[in-house]
Structure formats: structure tokens, C-alpha cells
């Protein structure tokens, strides 16, 4: 047996794990920000970053699954909005087009009366259906998913516009399900406030339940990818579809399932988001797909498929979010809060170069 030195072991770790490179980058940037960015080392910033990542993180899980199988979905933002409108309206029984139409169809939605189970069913089911349509168009026409979803993105936005009656939805009630999906973790926040911050320091902390949902979903989907036959087939299809097919992998079915899953996750993100803000607009989260793709790529996923991990993608979105906060707090001239994407762009390219460099080093 060859002697396995620490260096070799570390290199093997990089080689076998998509996450090692991005994790190093995240830690480095986090430590640098902690040391050099004013006001970064506060609970307020930390909990803000984590809460922001919770919603985009859920969407990123779906995008990562699709990217591993070699596909994209650019129509996730309208799914988030659709879910927000349906879930929001039905959960409180808002007097709007959605609830009135559903009850006129004899479905269990009544004005002034929330129906939580039906709201959840619609919030997950309709985006899943939208994902299914994307997947079916893809396999029936063989048009690349990038193009298919570029089209459905506009169509779905139009559908949301119709369903929403072109109006912003805002609710005042707060059914318990909102608490469960994305309420404040008061116990934890209080504990941190009294024991870790102290009364004399001006700092706030705001952890929310969405973070727990995110951790749970990341764990479930990472396990699904690595430990199940379905996950194995997704990697195979993304890696070399022809080879996968000759080995009896049912490519069309697996890819369509990927679209349904990512639609459902977008729907869940829409419900979580609505639970926090209690409002939704037609253009909700426009462009989140690109942030999610950036997160997945920074986290080690390959744009042409066959490689990546949900953990890595989560690290990727965290990295982008940490950077965003640092850049805003640094108050650099020409890079105010509104211009932080410029910095994020640089980082995306830099971290992909770094990832590739690490991977090449460890494979040679």
C-alpha cells in the first residue's frame, strides 16, 4: 500500500467532494469580512444573511438537481409568485379573484375563511404542475430546457398576472401555518439577546424557522442525489445521456421528475416567503433563477451537467449572500448597496476559476 500523507488525503477530499473548494472560499471570505468589514461581526448581520439565504437556498436545491441532470429552469420566479398568490389567498380566504373563482368551481375555498390544507396543496401542486409542463415540452420537442423555460417564464408570468388580477396581495391575518413556515425563532433569539449580546450592546438578532426547513430540505435532497437510484440516474443523464440510455436508464422520466421536484421546491419557497412578508407581487423574485444558478456553479456544479452537490450549492448561495452584506457594509464609493452585483459577478468568476484549479490539482 502507498503511504497516505495528510497532503494526499486533503487532495483526495477535494477530488471526491464537490464542496471542499467552495467551502474554503466561503470560510476565507467570511473571516476576512469578520476582521475587516465594519459592523459585519454582529448577530444582526449573521442572522440577516442566513434568513435571506433560506428562501433563495430552497430554490437553489431545485436548480442544482436540474443542473446535475444537464437541465435548467428559468421559470422558477413565476412559480414562486404563483404559489404566493394561491397559498396566501386561500390560507386566509381573501376576498379576491382566486378565492372567488375556486369557490365558484365548488372547491373548498371560502371568502373570510382560511383553508390551510388546500392552500398548501395549491402552493405546492400548481408549481409542480408548471414544472411538469416544462419537462413535458422538453422531452416532446427536444428543445433545450434553457429555451423552453425562457419561453414558459414569460407565459407563466402572464398566468400569474391573470390569477393575481394584476394586483398586489397583502394580508393582515396571521394563521399559525405562517409561524411554522417562517416565523421568528423567538426562543433562540431571546437566548442570544440575553446571554450572548447583553443589554449594553446595540445589536439585534432575527433567526427564522425557514432556516430549519432549508437545512432539512438540503439534507433530504442531497441524500436523494447520492444515496438513491433516482439520484444516480440524474448524475448519469447529465454526465452522458447516451451512455445512460444504453444502460437502461429511463432518461425522459427522470428528467421530467427533476422538473416537477424543482417546481415543487419553488412553490415551497413561495409559501415560506409569503409567510414572512404576508405579501406577494406579480414580479416577485424575478431573476432568482440566475442567482440560484450562480450559487450552484460557485458551489461546484458544472453548467453542462453530471456534477455538483446540494451542499455545495448551499455554500455557493451563502457565499454570495456574505459578499453582498460585506459589500453593502463596506460602503465603497461607486458600489453602493444597489451596485453590489458587480462585486458578486467578479466573485462568481473568481471562485469558479479557483474551483477548477483545485479540481485539476487534485486529479493530477
* Contact residues for another protein, defined by CB under 8 A: 15-16, 224, 227-230, 232-233, 235-236, 239-240, 242-249, 302, 306-307, 363
Instruction: Using the minimum distance from each CB to another protein, give the nearer residue, 41 or 220.
Output: 220
Instruction: Look at residue 3 and give its three-state secondary structure.
Output: coil
* Least distance CB 259 / another protein (angstroms): 18
Instruction: Using the minimum distance from each CB to another protein, give the nearer residue, 179 or 247.
Output: 247
Point out which residues pair with 184 in neighbouring strands.
Answer: 208
- What is the Cα–Cα distance from 355 to 20, expressed in whole angstroms? 9
Instruction: Using the minimum distance from each CB to another protein, give the nearer residue, 247 or 339.
Output: 247
Instruction: Using the minimum distance from each CB to another protein, give the nearer residue, 178 or 259.
Output: 259
Instruction: Using the minimum distance from each CB to another protein, give the nearer residue, 224 or 252.
Output: 224
- What is the Cα–Cα distance from 170 to 328, expressed in whole angstroms? 29
* Contact in structure between 338 and 45 (CB atoms under 8 Å): no
* Least distance CB 128 / another protein (angstroms): 16
* Least distance CB 288 / another protein (angstroms): 27
- What is the Cα–Cα distance from 341 to 161, expressed in whole angstroms? 28
Of the candidates 217, 179, 188, 206, the one whose C-alpha atom is nearest the C-alpha of residue 57 is 217
* Least distance CB 13 / another protein (angstroms): 12
DSSP H/E element including 8: helix 6-16
What radius of gyration do the chain's Cα atoms show? Answer: 22
* Least distance CB 223 / another protein (angstroms): 9
Instruction: Using the minimum distance from each CB to another protein, give the nearer residue, 187 or 242.
Output: 242
* Contact in structure between 262 and 131 (CB atoms under 8 Å): yes
Look-up of cell digits 380566504:
93
Instruction: Using the minimum distance from each CB to another protein, give the nearer residue, 307 or 354.
Output: 307
* Least distance CB 310 / another protein (angstroms): 16
DSSP H/E element including 280: strand 279-280
* Least distance CB 32 / another protein (angstroms): 32
Phi-psi sector, 94: left (phi>0), alpha (psi -120 to 50), beta? beta
* Least distance CB 121 / another protein (angstroms): 19
Burial of 354 (0-12, 13-18, 19+ CB in 10 A): middle
Instruction: Using the minimum distance from each CB to another protein, give the nearer residue, 147 or 252.
Output: 252
- Which cell goes with 343? 462585486
Burial per residue of 268-298, b for 16 or more beta-carbon CB atoms within 10 angstroms, e otherwise: bbbbbbbbbebebbbebbeebbebbbbbbbb
* Least distance CB 309 / another protein (angstroms): 12
Instruction: Using the minimum distance from each CB to another protein, give the nearer residue, 176 or 357.
Output: 357
Amino acid at each position: 500500500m502507498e503511504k497516505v500523507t495528510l497532503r494526499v488525503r486533503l487532495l483526495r477530499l477535494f477530488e471526491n467532494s464537490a464542496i471542499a473548494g467552495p467551502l474554503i472560499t466561503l470560510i476565507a471570505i467570511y473571516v476576512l469580512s469578520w476582521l475587516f468589514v465594519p459592523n459585519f461581526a454582529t448577530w444582526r448581520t449573521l442572522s440577516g444573511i442566513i434568513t435571506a439565504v433560506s428562501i433563495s437556498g430552497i430554490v437553489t436545491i431545485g436548480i442544482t438537481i436540474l443542473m446535475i441532470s444537464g437541465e435548467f429552469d428559468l421559470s422558477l420566479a413565476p412559480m414562486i409568485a404563483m404559489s404566493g398568490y394561491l397559498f396566501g389567498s386561500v390560507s386566509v380566504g381573501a376576498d379576491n379573484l382566486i378565492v372567488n373563482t375556486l369557490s365558484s368551481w365548488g372547491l373548498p375555498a371560502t371568502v373570510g375563511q382560511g383553508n390551510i390544507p388546500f392552500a398548501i396543496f395549491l402552493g405546492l401542486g400548481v408549481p409542480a404542475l408548471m414544472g411538469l409542463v416544462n419537462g413535458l415540452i422538453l422531452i416532446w420537442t427536444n428543445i433545450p430546457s434553457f429555451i423552453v423555460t425562457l419561453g414558459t417564464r414569460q407565459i407563466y408570468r402572464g398566468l400569474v398576472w391573470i390569477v393575481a388580477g394584476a394586483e398586489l396581495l397583502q394580508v393582515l391575518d396571521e394563521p399559525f401555518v405562517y409561524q411554522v413556515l417562517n416565523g421568528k425563532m423567538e426562543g433562540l433569539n431571546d437566548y442570544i439577546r440575553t446571554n450572548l449580546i447583553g443589554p449594553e450592546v446595540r445589536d439585534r438578532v432575527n433567526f427564522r424557522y425557514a432556516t430549519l426547513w432549508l437545512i432539512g430540505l438540503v439534507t433530504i435532497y442531497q441524500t436523494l442525489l447520492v444515496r438513491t437510484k433516482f439520484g444516480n440516474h440524474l448524475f448519469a443523464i447529465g454526465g452522458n445521456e447516451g451512455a445512460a440510455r444504453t444502460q437502461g436508464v429511463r432518461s425522459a422520466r427522470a428528467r421530467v421528475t427533476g422538473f416537477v421536484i424543482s417546481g415543487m421546491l419553488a412553490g415551497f419557497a413561495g409559501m415560506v416567503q409569503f409567510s414572512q412578508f404576508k405579501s406577494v407581487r406579480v414580479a416577485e423574485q424575478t431573476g432568482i433563477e440566475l442567482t440560484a444558478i450562480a450559487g450552484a456553479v460557485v458551489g461546484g456544479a458544472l453548467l453542462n451537467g453530471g456534477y455538483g452537490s446540494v451542499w455545495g450549492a448551499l455554500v455557493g448561495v451563502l457565499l454570495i449572500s456574505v459578499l453582498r452584506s460585506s459589500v453593502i457594509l463596506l460602503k465603497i464609493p461607486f458600489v453602493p448597496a444597489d451596485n453590489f452585483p458587480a462585486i458578486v459577478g467578479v466573485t462568481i468568476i473568481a471562485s469558479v476559476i479557483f474551483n477548477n484549479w483545485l479540481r485539476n490539482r487534485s486529479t493530477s
